[in-house]
Amino acid sequence: MDNDPLIAPAFAEALAARQPIYDINSHLYGYELLLHDPDKFRDEKLGFALDDKLVEGLCGSINEQYRSLQQPLFVSVSRDFLVSGKQLSVDPAAVVLEIQTGMRVDDKLIQAVSAWRRRSFKFSLRNYGFEPKYNELIPYLDFIKVDLLQEPLETILEKTRNLDKDHCKLIAERIGDKTVFLQCREAGFDLFQGYYLVVPDKVFGKKVKASYQGILQVLKKVQQEDISMDDLARTVANEPRFVYQLLRVLNSPACRLNRKVEDIKEAIVYLGLTQLKKWALLILLTSADEKKTEYLRLLLTRARACERYAELAKSVAPEKYFMAGLLSGIDRLLEVDQGVALAQINLGREVKHAVLLQEGAIGETLNQVFDVESNTLEPIGRLPKDKRQQIFIAHFEGGLWAHETLSALGR
C-alpha cells in the first residue's frame, strides 16, 4: 500500500485518523475524519477544520474512499470555507460537513448552510451543549453530536429526551462502555461514537469453545518449526472451512496476488509458514460470532496498523507486530480468558509479552496504535514528528485493508 490511491498526501501531511460511528445495532455507519496539525500537535485537542488549503488535496481521496467503503466521512469545515461560496468537488453522499462548536451563528452562516444543502450536502453540529444560540441553525442540520462528558450523564439524557429532533439524527460522542451505550440508545440517540466496543462487558471463562478447536489445531501445527509442507497440507485439508476462507482471501484484492491460487498445497508453498501463521490466526478470529464484525474490523485495523508501522520504521519481522495486534483482542472474540487463548497458540515470548504486558518494541507500537484508536493525543505528541506521521499513516491504511479483508471473508 505504499502508493495507495486512497491515501492522498494531504491525509498523511495532516495526520489524518478515522473514528468509527455506529448505529443502534453497533453496525458501522460512517467515520469522523480527524485532522491534526503536525506542527502544533502538542497543543491540539480536537483536530482542525477543513479549509481552502486542504480541500483540493483531499477531495479525490475522499471520493475514492467512498467508492470503496460506501460510508460517509464526517469532516469539520471552517466558517470561512462555508461562507466563501466555493465548491467542494466530492460526491455529497461521501461527506457530512461538521460545524464546530463556537462557530458564530448568524444570517450569513445560515444562508451558506442552506445553499450547501440545496447541492445535497448534509450537516452535523459537533459537541452540541443544548445552547439556545444554535436554535436557528438546528432546522438545517441532519445530525447533532452530543459530547457525553460535558455534563453529568443523567442531565444530558434528560435534555435529549426533551429535544425536538424529528428531522435529524442524534449522535452520542465519547461513549466509554456498553452500559452508557444502552442508556443513550434508550434515551433516543440514533448513532454512537466512542471506545465502548473495546471495553469488555463480562468476565470470560477458561474453556475454548469446541467450534474453534479445529482451527486451533492448524495454528498449533504452523508453530512447529520442523513440520513438513506435506504434513501441514494434510492437517489444513482436514479443516474445509479454513481451506475455503484461505483461498477466498488469497484471491481477493486484499492480497493483490498476480495469479489465482487454486489448491491448499499451492497456497502453503506460495505463502510460506510465516504468512500462513498470519492468515490462520486471522481466519480463526473471523470465525467468531458474526455479531462481532465491527470489533473484528477494529482488530484487523489494529493488526495491519502495527505491521505497517513496523514496515515504515524498517523494523525486523513486521509479521510479529501483526500477530500482536490481532491477538490483543482475542479474548473478546473467542470469549475466553486472554491468557488461556494465548496458551493455545504456543506463541513466542516477544509477541506474548507485547500482548499481555505491552513490553518491548512490539508492545510499544501496540500502545501507540491504541492511542490513535482512542484519539489520545498526549503520548503521540511526545513522539518525533516523523514517527507521528508514520503511526497515523499506518492506522489509516490499516482501516482500508481491514475493509477489503472483511469483504473478502464475506463479513
pLDDT on residue 11: 52
Name the residue with higher pLDDT: 33 or 185: 185
Distances (CA, A) of 314 to 7, 139, 310, 324, 369: 20, 52, 6, 17, 17
**Other CB atoms closer than 10 Å to residue 143's CB: what's the count?**
22
Q: How far apart are CA 403 and CA 138, in angstroms?
A: 34
87 within 8 A of 56, measured Cβ to Cβ: no
Q: What residues does 76 pair with on adjacent strands?
A: 98
- What is the pLDDT confidence band of residue 13, given thresholds at 50, 70 and 90? low
Tell me how far apart the alpha carbons of residues 241 and 40 are, in angstroms, rounded to a whole number: 50
pLDDT score at 6: 46
Interatomic CA distance for residues 176 and 75, integer angstroms: 22
More confident residue, 39 or 366: 366
pLDDT score, position 289: 62
Tell me the residue length of the chain: 411
pLDDT at 12: 53
On the question of pLDDT at 392 being above 60, the answer is yes
Reading the block at residue 239, the C-alpha cell is 479443516
Contact 71, 22 (CB under 8 A): no
Q: Residue 105: pLDDT above 50?
A: yes
The CATH code that applies to domain 9-194 is 3.20.20.450
Per-residue pLDDT at 313 exceeds 50: yes
- State percent of the chain over pLDDT 70: 84
What is the spatial distance between Cα 296 and Cα 332, in angstroms, rounded to a whole number?
9
Q: What is the mean pLDDT of residues 276-283?
A: 76
Least reliable range by pLDDT among 119-128, 153-162, 269-278: 269-278
- Residue scoring higher pLDDT (60 or 48): 60
Question: Between 36 and 138, where is the model more confident?
Answer: 138
Residue 242 has pLDDT above 90, yes or no: no
Instruction: Give ranges for CATH 3.20.20.450 in the chain.
Output: 9-194
CB 283 within 8 A of CB 215: yes
More confident residue, 239 or 87: 87
The cell numbers describing 286, all together, are 473471523
H-helix or E-strand spanning residue 21: strand 16-22
**pLDDT of 189:** 94
Judge whether residue 253 has pLDDT over 70.
yes
Give pLDDT tens digits for 333-387.
777 788 877 877 777 889 999 999 999 999 999 999 999 888 787 888 888 888 9
pLDDT surpassing 80 at residue 400: yes
The answer to whether residue 148 scores a pLDDT higher than 80 is: yes
Distance of alpha carbon 226 from its chain centroid, rounded? 37
Say if strands 28-35 and 143-147 run parallel, antiparallel, or are unpaired.
Answer: unpaired
Mean of pLDDT values over 128-154: 91
More confident site: 4 or 164: 164
Instruction: Choose which CATH entry (3.50.50.60, 3.40.50.700, 1.10.390.10, 1.10.3210.10) describes domain 210-408.
Output: 1.10.3210.10
Residue 201 has pLDDT above 60, yes or no: no
pLDDT digits (tens, 9 = 90+) for 67-97: 877 889 998 888 888 898 888 888 999 999 9
Q: What is the mean pLDDT of residues 295-301?
A: 90
Does 102 score more than 50 pLDDT? yes
Structure confidence at residue 288 (pLDDT): 62
Contact present, 305 and 372 (Cβ < 8 Å) = yes
User: For residues 238 and 66, what is the distance between their CA atoms, to the nearest angstrom?
Assistant: 40
What pLDDT is stored for residue 96 in this prediction? 94
Across residues 399-405, what is the average pLDDT?
Answer: 88
Q: Is the pLDDT of residue 3 over 90?
A: no
Q: Average pLDDT of the chain?
A: 81
Q: Where in the chain is the domain with CATH 1.10.3210.10?
A: 210-408
